Structure 1
Amino acid sequence: MRQITRVGIAGTGLIGKGLAYEIEKQADMELTKVLTRRSLRTMQDYPFPDVLTNDVKEFIESCDLIVECSGDVIYGTEVIDKAMRASLPVITMNAELQVTTGSYFARRGFITEAEGDQPGCLAALHENVVNMGFKPLVYGNIKGFLKLDPTPDEMKYWSNRNGVRLDMTTSFTDGTKVQIEQALVANGIGAGIAVDGLLAPAADNLHEIGAELAAEAKKVKKAICEFVVAPKAPPGVFITAEHDPRQKDTLRYYKMGEGPYYTILQNYHLCHLEVVKTIKRVIKGEGVLLNNGENPTISVAAIAKRDLHPGEKIDKGIGSFQVRGEAVNISMNANHVPIGLLVNAVLKQPIAAGHVITFADVELPDSLAVRAWLEVVPQDIMLSK
């Protein structure tokens, strides 16, 4: 008799809704509950209304594993905590959460990022190229555009045009999202970064820029996570790697170039359509694809986009017009506030444009997410009650 796995989804946005369609088609899965904070009366157009719930307890008790894709660090952390207490495996499509509280959960139970977004796709590509004998030097993410300080009018236009939330559109545009994604890959795979904020070169030829970045990795003597701004390149990921010199002639014959650096491109990432692969991986007991690791070395700091003033409130740092995120080495930025924690934060002192926001600069509401970060990277901070 076929074993049916009961799957729950936390989140009803673009990713959560799309994933629900895919799970409903699987013979070995049942979509049992979908957790949402929206009023159920306003969700009459949701394709599977019978599985919707606002009750976290009901959600957890109805599932064998959960997929967290709410896009919310603070709320998602609370949901995953309850899933961990029930010993449920957790799959996320929430890199923002992973780089903020993922290490706290990696110490407690099973949590993995899914294929679909670039971090999970890079992790899957990593497994593939390593199995073929390559030694990765660069884990590359491809962006078609970058504007560090876009205007609200610009972001409202693109948000409406693409049907994507304003904060998400802004975080994609100002680089926060890709910085978060590459920090997650670095922590999960055991790589590093060449510089805080990443090198982020512009390029049209991925093989040429991959070789240049591989040379940078050689300088720091460690594989690095990077992104390139390449408007003509496909929206995928790549790894630039070395191989056994004895394979040079064969790799040339296989159209991989002269070496010594070889770039392997995956020219797509299909978000929720690929999550099912990770669910099946977990069901088969094949282990973690990618998480933030138990002892992260890279975080994502909040950088002021403009001069900020005492008493100013940051409702949500990720996707705001006040701050953007940059990947940083934790050892060199011990007091930075991870941008994922900047929710309902109030500034205590002025911050000049371009400066990193530290715990001394803000009052943060108490939350499990804040406490989770402090358990992983301890320091004294002031929490507002």
Structure 2
Amino acid sequence: MYIIDKKLQERELQGNPIKVGVIGAGEMAKGLINQICRYTPGMQVVAVYNRTCSKAENALLKAGVDSFKVTDSEHVFCKLIDNGDTAITNQIDLLLNEPQIDVIVELTGHIEFGLKNIIKAFKKGKHVVSFNAELEATFGPYLKQKAQEHNVMYTLGDGDQPGVTQNLYRHVKMMGFEPLICGNIKGLQDHYRNPTTQQGFAKQWGMTPEMVTSFADGTKISFEQAVTANATNMCVTQRGMVGPNFKGHIDEMTTGFYPDIDKLKELGGIVDYVVGASPGPGVFIHATTEDPLSAKYLKYGKLGEGPLYSFYVPYHLLFFELAFSIARLIDFKDITLDAEFGMKVEVVAVAKENMKPGDRIDGLGGYKTYGICDNSSSARNDNLLPMGLAEACTIKKPLKKDELLTLDDVEFDNNILFDIYMNQLNTPN
């Protein structure tokens, strides 16, 4: 990060900021706008798209910005940026077409909307930073391929668990160690939480009940760990991951919770999570080394006897760290993470309640389904329904609570997304 801050300070002195266009004005977007406008030299939010422009206005005002204007005119939009002001619009193509914007940041959390507009951005020659793990887990290989085809850069951003895990993964590998477990630390998991049970917590934090539900019911962590697997060439040991409950420190989990080290090596490493461990809500990597000198000094450094050693980050800082990924991408061509190894792990849909023919599946964090991880080979062998495609599908036969949904159980509302999903499974890495 120390290279990044110097480069941004240099840009600030030169009057040459990275010009950022933001898609969305929800909680994460508000945080990023505040972070850039108040605390990040050499970077400027020049445009914000949101369906409801008043939300974008409010985000800018909270960030101390008052030189902005709402417009649906291309000429006015461009002029505002020319003058160093911020343009707000509910016309997405104005933002995507603007040649002065260096990078688009997608923060909506919606899969279909995010996919459509990121692909549009690529076609317009725009680099993209996404903060949408659900989209990346569902269409990551396709996004990587399309970015390459259009000669632009794409990355999932820092600050959420996958980005923090990938930073730690690279750090551990740079020291010569072999990561064998990439883990996520959760405080709670209950597959049957729904928007009604989570309404109070959501209101407290200004989030939607559906978003909070996806955190609690295991869907979000499944998307996050699938993203990590696809970036590291790892897998899961079993459908749904192991997910042990443990109240101690993550350092104490190097033995007794996962397969032995030979099996972990044979698998190429695994992704998983633990509920209740400290330090939460962080991420961890358990790695090994075959170098006796390294093992000696890891012991000296109080990391234990091995053969697994515990490394962790005790937090993930959301939008506070997202600007780092923007700067890394634009100034250093450094991708925080993408689906480098294709679709290794998928997120598949499970019935949250009994369903009958004619029922429509609601969205992520809803009443009807929750998502779990599965190795892609296993998911395709059993013809399972990807969680990222489940929304708005119509149920064709009776399903019981906790039953895995298959492609034969549903009628798709959007066959185009299904075709893209299936075709990317054969995309070369």
Greater Cα offset, 223-232 or 10-19: 223-232
**Separation (CA, whole Å) in 2 of partners of 1:369 and 1:7:** 28
Greater Cα offset, 168-177 or 150-159: 150-159
Greater Cα offset, 198-207 or 329-338: 329-338
What's 1:82 paired with? 120
Matched to 2:198, the amino acid is: M
Matched to 2:350, the amino acid is: I
Task: Say which of 66, 75, 97 aligns to 1:61.
Answer: 97
Write out per-residue CA displacement over residues 215-262 of structure 1, whole angstroms, 9 at most, x where no aligned residue.
Answer: 456325121001000254321111110122322221111111111111
Q: TM-score, normalised by structure 1?
A: 0.92
CA apart distance, 1:198: 0.2
**Separation (CA, whole Å) in 1 of partners of 2:139 and 2:361:** 20
CA apart distance, 1:151: 5.0
Percent same amino acid at aligned positions?
A: 31
What's 1:218 paired with? 262
What's 2:414 paired with? 366
Larger radius of gyration: 2
CA apart distance, 1:372: 2.1
Figure out how many residues of one structure are paired with residues of the other and give that number.
Answer: 376
CA apart distance, 1:363: 1.7
Unaligned runs of 5+ in 2: 1-13, 70-86, 148-152
What's 2:8 paired with? none
Task: Say which of 27, 31, 35 aligns to 2:45.
Answer: 31
Tell me whether 1:46 sits opposite 2:59 in the alignment: yes
CA apart distance, 1:119: 0.2
**Separation (CA, whole Å) in 1 of partners of 2:57 and 2:127:** 30
Unaligned runs of 5+ in 1: 379-385
Tell me whether 1:354 sits opposite 2:402 in the alignment: yes
Task: Say which of 294, 309, 313 aligns to 1:266.
Answer: 313
Contact 2:194–2:213 (CA<8 Å) still a contact in 1? no
Write out per-residue CA displacement over residues 87-112 of structure 1, whole angstroms, 9 at most, x where no aligned residue.
Answer: 21111111000011121111111321
Write out per-residue CA displacement over residues 33-92 of structure 1, whole angstroms, 9 at most, x where no aligned residue.
Answer: 111122x25655332553321112111123211111101001101110101111211111
Task: Say which of 284, 290, 304 aligns to 1:257.
Answer: 304
What's 2:368 paired with? 322
Write out per-residue CA displacement over residues 280-318 of structure 1, whole angstroms, 9 at most, x where no aligned residue.
Answer: 1001233322112362121000000121111001131x1
**Separation (CA, whole Å) in 1 of partners of 2:145 and 2:55:** 38
Contact 2:351–2:370 (CA<8 Å) still a contact in 1? yes
**Separation (CA, whole Å) in 2 of partners of 1:368 and 1:282:** 30
State the SS of the aligned residue for 1:328: strand
Write out per-residue CA displacement over residues 311-339 of structure 1, whole angstroms, 9 at most, x where no aligned residue.
Answer: 001131x1012110000112112122211
Structural RMSD (CA): 1.9
**Separation (CA, whole Å) in 2 of partners of 1:130 and 1:191:** 14
CA apart distance, 1:28: 1.8
What's 1:21 paired with? 34
Tell me whether 1:205 sits opposite 2:249 in the alignment: yes
Matched to 1:322, the amino acid is: K
**Separation (CA, whole Å) in 2 of partners of 1:217 and 1:169:** 36
Matched to 1:299, the amino acid is: E
What's 2:80 paired with? none
Distance 1:233 1:306, change over 3 A: same
